[in-house]
Structure 1
């Protein structure tokens, strides 16, 4: 998926340009430097070659090349691919972008024949096609890494099923839940990310090639055949829209942003739970670091970096949206920056996902510390439900238990230590069986509705996620 930006640009004996006939002077040096996108779009070399091979075949089908000419172009495009793979490409100062490099090399190998490949094609429809070809691979690989993280979460949740911990809202103890339930909550956020990426993959899989610069192709190119040849589900319906469209790039960066936000929230939870104050989990040494001053420190830098990267990825989303906002219709050179935003979002998300998988796989779950953190005030909701089952309207039950909590706080005792007689003075529905609602494990099992924290519900959650994992593995 990646190609290092070229660092070995050389001045060739003759500058090869894809344009320039109407110009009497060369571009200013400052403009040349700004105009060159090769350090960013070099990674599209394989996609550019794939599109060019298919376009050569389309030209042959339309009668603009004979079979021998097409065969020669296709074979030499593969020779160029080999040079890219083996890092044998020598870049020249006049190489603006990956399209210039590939065409220059093709002309060097095939002479005038190589100059015929661009017949009816513009870099406008060429680059957007390359980006869509790249996007398919990027989505597939991102889904693969999401699958690995979901698998790691599922394994930890299964291995620690039955462990209880405080559930929090507003970072205040709320209700007892199972550790597995909390951990799977993050997996279900990632599940939605997978759905978003899958929808984007299907929705954006339409071919722009054959749109020309903006007006279309007048040379009998069979776009439907080209789409099938390159694995697209259909073709774009308006050439002016096609060459200026970067909505799929925005959508992809948005998907990356959402994944990064979900990873950031997971990281934040893990950072909090790994503090000495909580000590619910321990981050492995391989994903921790120390302090240059304080020898005792064990810092969750891996998770803090995940949290920080989310801001960087989201800034790319803002950047591409503001770029598109200011462009008139069809292609404008502003759109050249789409690759910087898109590739950085993808690369940084890849790093975050790889780290997240490692952290989750290797973290140690501290059962004793989690269950020791449970406190009787967290029984309050279950006590309210106890009164509901006795026929007390919930709003009244909520008020009565609030009074019990206030009384216990005044006396500095747990609500379970308030005598039954005083409970009955607050609400006559209290009976001796209230003592049975002091078992955290029993209370948790009552939350057996779909999506709840009971074991039966968690097992169903695991089943759903395992099905997703299976589907993603089959698509990879």
Structure 2
């Protein structure tokens, strides 16, 4: 067993206990952050005269060599070590002897792992933001191409009023835009360096924590050493943000699954993002959308698990907190994979525009506009509502749309109707007379598209 804390103990740890306690099987994912953090630490130790200039340079150079060799595959992380910190330090000692033993001066594994995890999450926030930006660009492209693609809007999964595909996709643009804003907020809040907190009470060595923080790209050091080693708020916030991203992806997936069904036929998913049936040759299944929907619960589970883990932990560090990593790593990989695959599926999807328009026309989505027509001709709204309700019932019984009725038929329900009713309730009129910002008219949506383009062009890259 390769461990860093054996001096206090008189006998070996039980192998089962050791395996249960070890974290290298998953925290080796943070090797780059661990080595980068150590390089900044020894540079600071050299600057402060805690290590000699030569010792600091030898340690920094050899840490860089280890990082290069890990990334090239020249060496591999050995799972016999308890954690990634043990592996790096032991490798350094093998190569530098006593100088390697000085790496841990002025540092605890508590603030070391807090640093590694914070740096890892920070990097993943940056990467997730880029994936969301790509998804937003795909959505915006589809919006630009479909300002005149009329489709039914729904409430309660029932056809409600006519909108456009641009308007529908614009709703998801807003959701994912908020997701990016949440990531930005998380990044700003978490970007402080815990290194130098020690085990919980700092250290007697004259560390320059501000210098270390600047070397690692942080705004500054954390201001309380107990909080520095025991804070996992940033991981919980990131998990909450990912849960929200997955919720948005799942809602979108659910709609695509419905739109892909034989009853709707609004979309055709590209073959690359579909699968068939082992027994039914006619099937083309929306598996990617279904898996995204299914994996949402997995990310929710990670958030709930970490909240539950943290809820009873007294200050400062406790071993329970080791449970933060596997949960967070899995949620990150899951969410990133879902965003990327969903983006690919969306970008290759084909839309059956004629079918969408026919569906809007056949679902009485213009009933509200027909009632508005009567109101604009002096009929009280409640009376207009009743008249149009009776017309809809008549159409259902006779298997026709309001548009299919003759003026003579309409006049049987109200003398107010004139020839201009047909223009007033056409799908194009119903959509395009809604001119307020945020509404589905082409005029309103073109303004929104320009605003979203400007947002994407000007939005800062996290980090």
TM superposition score normalised by structure 1: 0.92
- Residue 41 of structure 2 corresponds to residue 55 of structure 1: yes
Q: CA deviation at 1:75?
A: 0.3
Cα RMSD over matched residues? 2.1
Contact 1:250–1:317 under 8 Å retained in 2: yes
**Which residue in the other structure is 2:129 paired with?**
143
Give the 3 Å change call, closer, same or farther, for CA 21–395 of structure 1 in structure 2. Answer: farther
CA distance in 2: counterparts of 1:170 and 1:133, whole angstroms: 44
Give 5+ residue unaligned stretches, structure 2. none
Given candidates 291, 303, 316, the residue that maps to 2:277 is: 291
**Which residue in the other structure is 2:455 paired with?**
468
Give the 3 Å change call, closer, same or farther, for CA 189–23 of structure 1 in structure 2. Answer: same
* Per-residue CA distance 1:172-213 (angstroms, 9 max, x = gap): 111111111112221221111111111101111111111100
Contact 1:208–1:242 under 8 Å retained in 2: yes
* Per-residue CA distance 1:123-178 (angstroms, 9 max, x = gap): 11111111111122101111111111111111122123211111111111111111
Given candidates 21, 25, 42, the residue that maps to 2:11 is: 25
Give 5+ residue unaligned stretches, structure 1. 1-14
Contact 1:163–1:371 under 8 Å retained in 2: yes
Contact 2:268–2:350 under 8 Å retained in 1: yes
Q: CA deviation at 1:93?
A: 5.8
Q: CA deviation at 1:413?
A: 4.4
**Which residue in the other structure is 2:389 paired with?**
402
Aligned residues: 462
**Which residue in the other structure is 1:4 paired with?**
none
**Which residue in the other structure is 2:365 paired with?**
378
Given candidates 176, 188, 196, the residue that maps to 2:174 is: 188
Farther-moved stretch of structure 1 (223-232 vs 277-286): 223-232
Give the 3 Å change call, closer, same or farther, for CA 390–221 of structure 1 in structure 2. Answer: farther
* Per-residue CA distance 1:379-422 (angstroms, 9 max, x = gap): 11112222343455545543443343344445554334566577
SS of aligned partner of 1:377: coil
**Which residue in the other structure is 1:99 paired with?**
85
CA distance in 1: counterparts of 2:114 and 2:454, whole angstroms: 34
**Which residue in the other structure is 2:337 paired with?**
351
Given candidates 307, 314, 329, the residue that maps to 2:315 is: 329
SS of aligned partner of 2:36: helix
* Per-residue CA distance 1:278-305 (angstroms, 9 max, x = gap): 1111001111111111111111111111
Contact 2:25–2:79 under 8 Å retained in 1: no
CA distance in 2: counterparts of 1:293 and 1:435, whole angstroms: 49
SS of aligned partner of 2:153: strand
Farther-moved stretch of structure 1 (459-468 vs 163-172): 459-468
**Which residue in the other structure is 1:213 paired with?**
199
Give the 3 Å change call, closer, same or farther, for CA 183–30 of structure 1 in structure 2. Answer: same
**Which residue in the other structure is 2:252 paired with?**
266
- Mapping of 1:154-233 within 5 angstroms? 154-233=140-219
CA distance in 1: counterparts of 2:29 and 2:329, whole angstroms: 9
Contact 1:376–1:438 under 8 Å retained in 2: no
Given candidates 345, 350, 367, the residue that maps to 2:353 is: 367
Give the 3 Å change call, closer, same or farther, for CA 369–409 of structure 1 in structure 2. Answer: closer
**Which residue in the other structure is 1:6 paired with?**
none
SS of aligned partner of 1:382: helix
SS of aligned partner of 1:177: strand
**Which residue in the other structure is 2:114 paired with?**
128
**Which residue in the other structure is 2:266 paired with?**
280
**Which residue in the other structure is 1:437 paired with?**
424
* Per-residue CA distance 1:67-99 (angstroms, 9 max, x = gap): 111111110100110121122335556411110
Give the 3 Å change call, closer, same or farther, for CA 61–406 of structure 1 in structure 2. Answer: same
CA distance in 2: counterparts of 1:428 and 1:160, whole angstroms: 38
Q: CA deviation at 1:458?
A: 1.6
Contact 1:376–1:416 under 8 Å retained in 2: no
SS of aligned partner of 2:160: strand
**Which residue in the other structure is 2:401 paired with?**
414
Give the 3 Å change call, closer, same or farther, for CA 207–91 of structure 1 in structure 2. Answer: closer
Contact 1:147–1:472 under 8 Å retained in 2: no
* Per-residue CA distance 1:327-371 (angstroms, 9 max, x = gap): 222111111111101110111112111211111111111111111
